[in-house]
Copies of this chain bind each other. A is one copy, B any other.
Amino acid sequence: MGQEGVGVDLETSLGYLLKEASSALRAAMEQVLRPLGMSVTRYSCLELLAQRPGLSNSELARGAFVTRQSMNVLLHALEREGDVTRPVEAPVGKVLPTRLTPRGRRSLEKATVAVRSVEVRMLAGLTEAEQSGAFRILQSMIRSLRDGDGS
């Protein structure tokens, strides 16, 4: 294996470490979600809807970090399986507010405990102060990155 211990600049890059952590988190989530027949994006969508009922397709897409098109096909699948409901026509404008069904709420509950366990494991070696510190630091990074993107 190429595990030479040569000190490398990538190992000191916070950006690389951020991607590494995010990748590890996603892998861990996929692992615990797979036995439940659920993907990360599907879980994210359900969780979003549980906390903010009536979200639109576009809002769900932004919240789950996918495109509107991808979220659209997912919503159709969720609707077909009876996890969510959408009005046949928009009550106002073109926005179709989506809501969880009792069935969707149940499948979400099982997934939530699985994901919660992953998050607990991730925060295992961290003190309370470190967790709130990480919180502020990540928020600062996000704000700084979004500032200069010409939006």
Contact = CB atoms under 8 A, between A and B. Distances in A.
26 contacts: A2-B56, A4-B52, A8-B52, A9-B51, A14-B123, A14-B134, A14-B138, A15-B29, A17-B142, A19-B25, A20-B138, A21-B142, A24-B141, A25-B141, A25-B145, A27-B145, A27-B149, A28-B145, A28-B149, A31-B150, A122-B145, A124-B144, A126-B141, A130-B133, A133-B137, A134-B134
B144 A10 contact: no
Which of A19, A27, A124: most chain B Cβ within 10 A?
A: A19
Interface of A: 2, 4, 6, 8-10, 13-15, 17-29, 31, 47-48, 51-52, 55-56, 59, 63, 65, 115, 118-119, 121-126, 130-131, 133-135, 137-150
